[in-house]
Amino acid sequence: MEKFTRLQGVAAPLMRANIDTGAIIAPIYMLSRSIDLGQKLFANWRYEQDGAEKPDFVLNQPRYRKSAILIAGPNFGCGSSREGAVWALMRFGIRCVIAPSFGEIFFSNACQNGLLPVTLDERQTCRLADTVIAAPDPIATVDLVRCTVTSPQGDEVSFKLAEDRRMSLIEGLDETSFILRHEHEIDAYQARLRIEQPWVFIGEGGRARN
């Protein structure tokens, strides 16, 4: 998993509430490994039925075509648990989504795949979107080491992320790799437990082991 420490890039405002995973990537595009999920990101919003781009959709506008940060409304990533929603965003080039709230499973999938979900309150999120829209150059900065978001005008706001999630993203560790970093402590705990509570291990060969 690619490490995430500090990201500076184009931020695109998509201020809709309840953007679900089916809107992020339609289920039909998950049926083939040959399909570029990034190209199909928000496909029903980005394209006409004949495949032509809808010029008014934010990611089709020239200033937002290379967005690395997406600013959205509340409950982003709600709906089904498909992990492909995260893959589609990352394949497009988006490494961070900023929203007032997220679907719980989407939030977990994002962290486990290297996509940073930043939770700001609704006022802060709307203000950030407004500054991006007004800025000649819509560049924002997300610093996971300092847990800050900086607007194009230089305004800085802090955010919180659980420490285990934060360190996994900073160090580029998936969930299994993060757990294995504590392998010695896990082994030591298990060895102590075998002595203090041997009945826990009944069933390993039919009897408790010391």
CA-to-CA distance for 87 and 185, rounded, in angstroms?
33
Query: Are 147 and 89 part of one and the same domain?
Result: yes
The pLDDT score that the predictor gives to residue 178 is: 55
CA-to-CA distance for 143 and 141, rounded, in angstroms?
6
Residue 139 within a domain:
yes
The pLDDT score that the predictor gives to residue 206 is: 46
Yes or no: say if 97 and 72 are a contact pair by the CB < 8 Å rule: yes
Residue 39 within a domain:
yes
Query: Are 29 and 122 part of one and the same domain?
Result: yes
Query: Are 143 and 198 part of one and the same domain?
Result: no
The pLDDT score that the predictor gives to residue 190 is: 76
Token pair recorded at residue 113:
């795949």
Query: Are 129 and 203 part of one and the same domain?
Result: no
Residue that is last in its domain, among 166, 185, 202: 166
Residue 142, strand partner residues:
7, 149
Query: Are 149 and 188 part of one and the same domain?
Result: no
Query: Are 148 and 187 part of one and the same domain?
Result: no
Which stretches in the chain have pLDDT values below 70?
174-183, 187, 203-210
Q: Indicate the burial class of 150 (C-beta count within 10 angstroms; 0-12, 13-18, 19 or more).
A: middle
The pLDDT score that the predictor gives to residue 189 is: 75
Query: Are 148 and 87 part of one and the same domain?
Result: yes
Residue 1 within a domain:
no
Helices then strands, each counted (H, E), the chain: 8, 7
Residue 156 within a domain:
yes
Residue 196 within a domain:
yes
Strand 67-72: give its sheet, edge to edge: 116-119, 96-99, 67-72, 6-14, 139-143, 148-150, 156-158
CA-to-CA distance for 98 and 159, rounded, in angstroms?
10
**Phi/psi of residue 23, each to 5°?**
-75, -35
Q: What is the span of the domain harbouring residue 184?
A: 174-210
Query: Are 134 and 210 part of one and the same domain?
Result: no
The pLDDT score that the predictor gives to residue 179 is: 56
CA-to-CA distance for 159 and 55, rounded, in angstroms?
33
CA-to-CA distance for 88 and 90, rounded, in angstroms?
5
Residue 155 within a domain:
yes
Query: Are 157 and 184 part of one and the same domain?
Result: no
Residue 115 within a domain:
yes
- Global pTM reads 0.84
Query: Are 158 and 98 part of one and the same domain?
Result: yes
Place of tokens 């990533």: 77
CATH of the domain at 100: 3.20.19.10
Residue 145 within a domain:
yes
Query: Are 30 and 132 part of one and the same domain?
Result: yes
Query: Are 29 and 87 part of one and the same domain?
Result: yes
Give me the number of domains the chain comprises. 2
The secondary structure of residue 30, as a DSSP letter, is G
Token pair recorded at residue 140:
């924002």
The pLDDT score that the predictor gives to residue 208 is: 46
The pLDDT score that the predictor gives to residue 194 is: 81
